[in-house]
Structure 1
Amino acid sequence: APPSAPPNLFKRGRGPLRKFRGVTRLLLTKIPFFKEIIVSSFTCGSCAWSNTEIQSVGRIQEQGVRYTLAATARQDMNREVVKTDCATARIPELDFEIPAFSQKGALTTIEGIIDRAVAGLEQDQPVRRAADKDVAGKIDEFIGKLKQLKEVDSSFTFIIDDPSGNSFVENPRAPQKDDALVVTHYRRTAQQDAMLGLEVLRLGGEGVLKSEDLRNEVLQFNTNCPECNAPANTNMKLVQIPHFKEVIIMATNCEACGHRTNEVKSGGAIEPLGTRITLRVTDPSDMTRDLLKSETCSVEIPELEFELGMGALGGKFTTLEGLLKDIRNLIVKNPFTLGDSSTPSRVEKLQEFGRKVYQIMEGHMEAHFILDDPAGNSYLQNVYAPEEDPQLKVEHYERTFAQNEDLGLNDMRTEGYETGLTSER
């Protein structure tokens, strides 16, 4: 049986305590957004009690994720949700929160999460009414408010905050942007790393390699394959991109299953200004341009009404064609639009999006490709360098307060630190 339910269910009748056994079914499935998960379903044939849970068997993502949904219609209750064990669910209007690790992971809907919370609160109400009627009455009142939320008579905010980055809230308008849903990727704090059981590696003291040594050396460290979890090696190299800056390229090759992956990290600091790069794609030769997309960079294609938020797909050093292929696979292979649960209209919409992306790659459709990086660490090759590229426009802009907040800059203090401590004493 799953961990949240005892393997044996007990029922007391007129005779002695009777014990019934149920059946647990396990399914290992791969979801492109969340790597691999185990779906467990428990059913008791005697009392008809059932329970469904998920457990993530993939790796913890590089960044945490926060989904903020402004629910305004009854249809929002049907949005599918993947909630992991370490995710926190909140409804600020009711000052209601489901803490991390208080429930097992679930593949459900927003209505299902509310129903699950209601069932948990109602479970011990008979005991509370006997012990303290006032407390039981207040909980009954709160349960009524939760049930009323499902009718969406007034708008409310639903938030899923997952430090592991493995939770998800459905966007029914995909691949277009959902104005009601805000997806924010963030860096975990030390407390969140400790909660997830991650070791925090700190470089310092003796034995730290200098930057000159890193340029001429490929570092290697042990890790596990994100696909089959077999032991693998990750190679790391510091590379200088012409007319740009240094980046760190990390590549993993699994000898067990043959899976390969690469990731790019910025080797420099956050730039004083954000960067917005706009390329007018008019020829198939544009697909061969080198491209560096950092973790903080968002991608936009106005002609397709498409926007990919920062943090999605991670950091990449590839070509324009390679990034468009990754975007196409990410959208077309969306697990919530495949199988029996998909609708013909939604499938057709995503297939049409895939065809248009293919037309752009083949040069049959002109489009604008926009990289917007508040940290200023993204790059798109200028084939006319050092001269100006007539098809390429690079703009630098002042970051907003919200962008600085996402990058963790608003609370960062690097000047007068010691003086500030002295004055406070």
Structure 2
Amino acid sequence: MSALGAVEAAGAGGAALFRPLSAEDGEQQPAEIESLCMNCYRNGVTRLLLTRIPFFKEIIVSSFTCESCSWSNTEIQSAGRIQEQGVRCALAVASRQDMDREIVKTDCATIRIPELDFEIPAFSQKGVLTTIEGIIDRAVMGLEQDQPVRRATDKEVASKIDDFISKLKQLKEVHSPFTFIIDDPSGNSFVENPHAPQKDEALVVTYYKRTPQQAAMLGLEEEELDEKPADSAEDLRNEVLQFNTNCPECNAPANTNMKLVQIPHFKEVIIMATNCDSCGHRTNEVKSGGAIEPRGTRITFRITDPSDMTRDILKSETCSVEIPELEFELGMGALGGKFTTLEGLLKDIKDLVERNPFTLGDSSTPSKTEKLQEFIGRLQEIIEGKTKAVFVMDDPAGNSYLQVGRIRAAFLCPDG
């Protein structure tokens, strides 16, 4: 039985399958399935754990062990939805500590190391939850697997592969910096930021629109947009549209409501709200209803009074947020689009930082926990109006907005 097949069988009872990953959760026991060992062809045991990683999605962790030959294998499968955009993470590896960064790699992700002209193509390996060093070790193991046969049949090719394996092993010592790139059109791969909540200068995360070829690779069909007459578009502004979706928390069927709203003195936006009857989860998101502006917008706001927290704010999904006093930067794509107050957005940022999986449980260290608590305390003082701060919104698409007041806004050219 496959991992996804076991999930479907387990879900027949209607219970919540995916629980948040937690070191304190003793009730979350893996399911055990007898399966064939591909090393000695005897029966072994596969353990399946259905869990949800914060800042990631639902995943199925499968671990196989064989008592006959002691062979073992661990891999993950994504059980969440394909994201709206693909993601590309480029990390400049400069120290041994960078080799210990945790990596979530899905089946469809491609890994590249340009300095060695090395690439692991999509769908050539199963999804894994590992480290950068673990990725390199798996690549070395795969190349060494058929070396005895190559040495017997083609010594020249075997010699070249031995040289390349040696170069891969030297990467783990980090004698010289190199670039580690993971490109995932599904948007479900992840690279740890050990400096959270501060920005990681060595890590560049880019979100992009999938090409038709990438969409076909993922099994997605292009949506055909039907042209609507002008009076039909006008009617949409006066009604709430509803469509079926899945809850982002428990993955149960839910309904999403969508409404076109005109923000005074700004532009039209689309507000989407999802309510789940199964687990009670509620979420809302805002998307721009207009085109990308000719120039980007940078809004700098000085928070000097508790009443500033009540200002309306529209943060689009292309907008990044910065608070210089905290040395904090929230990249575009994080938190999605939101139409709320300044206090509401800061509280969402606080909740986002507190749920960071790499500062909780076994993944945390005393120094990380101490820095995180200090950051949360300083952010809470800003929310309560006890500390003055500068709040910066940078939106290259020009679709973000802050209620008029003591604001200094700059309109940027497309090239920044």
- TM-score normalized by structure 2? 0.89
Q: Aligned partners of 1:362, 1:259: CA distance in 2, in Å?
A: 27
Give the 5 Å matches for 1:252-331: 252-331=274-353
Q: Aligned partners of 2:41, 2:219: CA distance in 1, in Å?
A: 37
Report Cα offsets for 1:361-383 as digits up to 9, x if no partner: 0011111111000110001111x
- Could you say which residue in structure 2 is the equivalent of 1:26? 48
Shift of 1:228: 2.0
Equivalent of 2:171 in 149, 161, 184: 149
Equivalent of 1:185 in 201, 207, 211: 207
Which residue identity does 1:397 align to in structure 2? L
Shift of 1:211: 2.9
- Could you say which residue in structure 2 is the equivalent of 1:217? 239
> Does residue 1:9 correspond to 2:37, yes or no?
yes
Which residue identity does 2:74 align to in structure 1? T
Shift of 1:227: 2.0
- Could you say which residue in structure 1 is the equivalent of 2:412? 397
Change (3 A) 1:126 1:329: same
Q: Aligned partners of 2:154, 2:298: CA distance in 1, in Å?
A: 60
Shift of 1:235: 1.2
Shift of 1:142: 0.9
- Could you say which residue in structure 1 is the equivalent of 2:400? 378
Contact 1:60 1:164 in 2 (8 A): yes
Report Cα offsets for 1:244-279 as digits up to 9, x if no partner: 000011111121221211111111111111100111
Contact 1:232 1:255 in 2 (8 A): yes
Report Cα offsets for 1:316-337 as digits up to 9, x if no partner: 1111112111211211211111
Q: Aligned partners of 1:128, 1:207: CA distance in 2, in Å?
A: 66
Shift of 1:216: 0.7
Q: Aligned partners of 2:47, 2:230: CA distance in 1, in Å?
A: 50
Shift of 1:98: 0.9
Contact 1:290 1:318 in 2 (8 A): yes
> Does residue 1:228 correspond to 2:256, yes or no?
no
Contact 1:292 1:317 in 2 (8 A): yes
> Does residue 1:73 correspond to 2:116, yes or no?
no
CA RMSD of aligned residues (A): 1.8
Q: Aligned partners of 1:215, 1:2: CA distance in 2, in Å?
A: 46
Report Cα offsets for 1:44-81 as digits up to 9, x if no partner: 22322222212222222222111111111111111111
Q: Aligned partners of 2:205, 2:41: CA distance in 1, in Å?
A: 46
Equivalent of 2:155 in 120, 133, 136: 133
Report Cα offsets for 1:341-378 as digits up to 9, x if no partner: 21010011111111111111001111111100011000
Which residue identity does 2:256 align to in structure 1? T
Shift of 1:102: 1.2
Shift of 1:209: 6.9
> Does residue 1:176 correspond to 2:198, yes or no?
yes
Shift of 1:200: 2.0
Q: Mark the runs of 5 or more structure 2 residues left unpaired by the alignment.
A: 4-33
Contact 1:221 1:235 in 2 (8 A): yes
Shift of 1:2: 6.9
User: In terms of mean alpha carbon deviation, does 372-381 or 175-184 score higher?
Assistant: 175-184
- Number of residue equivalences: 386
Q: Aligned partners of 1:139, 1:196: CA distance in 2, in Å?
A: 31
Contact 1:2 1:24 in 2 (8 A): no
Identity %: 77
Which residue identity does 1:340 align to in structure 2? D
Q: Aligned partners of 1:209, 1:73: CA distance in 2, in Å?
A: 61
Shift of 1:151: 0.7
Contact 1:291 1:381 in 2 (8 A): yes
- Could you say which residue in structure 1 is the equivalent of 2:131? 109
- Could you say which residue in structure 2 is the equivalent of 1:347? 369
Shift of 1:207: 7.2
For residue 61 of structure 1, give the secondary structure of its aligned residue in structure 2: coil
